[in-house]
Each structure stands twice: as structure tokens, then as C-alpha cells.
Amino acid sequence: MTILNVVELDIGRHLGIDQRIPIGAAILTAELRGTAVDFTIDSCILRPTDMAETLFAWLGQHVIREGATITGYRLKAAITSLASLPGGDDAPALRAMTACHRQYLLDLSATSAGRPVSFREACEQTGVACSPAEPEQIFGAWVRCDVASIEEHAQADAIATFRLLLRRLASINQVGRSIADALRNHLRVWLDQRDDPAAKAHVDDVLSSAG
């Protein structure tokens, strides 16, 4: 399973318009190996002078796998956003994440009272920790080429997306709840073994909650 979290700059925030541009992504993978689950996390954030091809090449290393399940919050919108970058229409990584290819897409989007629920709202409603970074912070870090701090936030949100998936699984039926519980236990162990900011943002939360 591949969890995709796309990072966007909200460049239209102060103009009163919905205008965002993607600048990178974080990917969390969970692979079943016998009775164990192997987690890996990686990210790629473009600097202002970087070319979009760098991001597409990195994405290709993670998503171009036959039979892979790609999961994300508002995943289809994220793919559309990535496609807006120069070269997006021809990027193999994006073509791999369309219905005509062999990857399975699982979109965790939600609505409330007829309107889309944002990622942060979904996390707040389900008690899942997510990055506290505001759009202005991300923009400022990007202008300063401080991609390391943006990667920390992106990876924290990739983990949060996986936790939202576990909540969704647990709500389906007893089988889904059992699967979610097993995956959550593996996630707890993995987080507890790590010493990076993204893991620290979740480890106490996961250890003290149901997801």
C-alpha cells in the first residue's frame, strides 16, 4: 500500500481565490512480509529553481508498480494538481495513477453538509494528529529553500493519511476493524523505533489512542 500526500503552495490565499501549485509530496509505504509489515517513508520537495521532472522521476520510483494500491486524501484532486505542472500530461508516474493502468486508487475524500471536508478538518474530526503548519509557514519555508522543514510536515501528514485509512477500515465491518487493529499495532512499533520529527508527531498520539 502506498500513501501519497501532495504538498501545495496556497498562492491565492491573499487574493481571495483558490489557486494552489504543487511543490512536492511525501509517500508512506506499507508492505506485508510474512507476518510483519514493513513501513518506509520518503519525500521530495522542489526548490524554487528545481524542475518538475525531478518530482515526477521521484514519484515514478514509488508508484509505478503493478498492482499497487495508491491511497490519499482527495487523491484525484492531488493527481490533477500534479498534472498541472510542466510535463505533467506526459509523466509516467501520473499516467500510472489513472484508471487505465494497473494501480488501484483509494480516495479518502469526505463531505459534510454537501461541501468537501478538508484534510485538516478530517483529522480534527477523527482525532488524528496532523501537521500544524499554516500555509504562510509553508510558503515562507519554500521561498527560503528550507525544504527540510516542509518535508517534515509532508511526512507527518502522510502518516496522518494512513491513520485516516485505518479509521475508515475500522468503520466498515468487523473484518475491517480486525485488519485496522493489526496494522495499527505494526504502525505503533514502527513509530516507536523512529527518531524523526514526523514520527514524533504521531507516536504519543497513536500510543494513547485508538488510531
Query: CA 181 → CA 53, 169, 175, distances in Å?
Result: 38, 9, 10
Backbone angles phi, psi at 115, to 5 degrees: -120, 150
User: How much of the chain exceeds pLDDT 70, in percent?
Assistant: 92
pLDDT at 202: 82
pLDDT tens for 101-138 read 566 889 998 888 888 899 999 999 998 999 988 989 99
Overall number of domains in the chain: 1
Quick one: CA dihedral 147, 148, 152, 158, positive or negative? positive
Predicted local distance difference test score (pLDDT) of residue 65 = 81
All residues at 6 or more sequence positions from 102 whose CB lies less than 8 Å from its CB, including other chains: 66, 67
Going by their DSSP bridges, the two strands 2-10 and 20-33 should be labelled as: antiparallel
Q: What is the pLDDT of residue 66?
A: 76
User: Distance between CA 28 and CA 202 in Å, rounded?
Assistant: 14
Parts of the chain with a pLDDT under 70: 13-18, 99-103, 207-211
Instruction: Sort residue 153 into left (φ over 0), alpha (ψ -120 to 50) or beta.
Output: alpha
Report pLDDT for 17: 66
Owning domain of residue 39: 2-207
Ramachandran region, residue 10 (left: φ > 0; alpha: ψ -120 to 50; beta: rest): beta
DSSP state of 98: S
Q: What is the pLDDT of residue 99?
A: 58
Strand duo 69-72 + 36-45: pairing: unpaired
pLDDT for res 35: 85
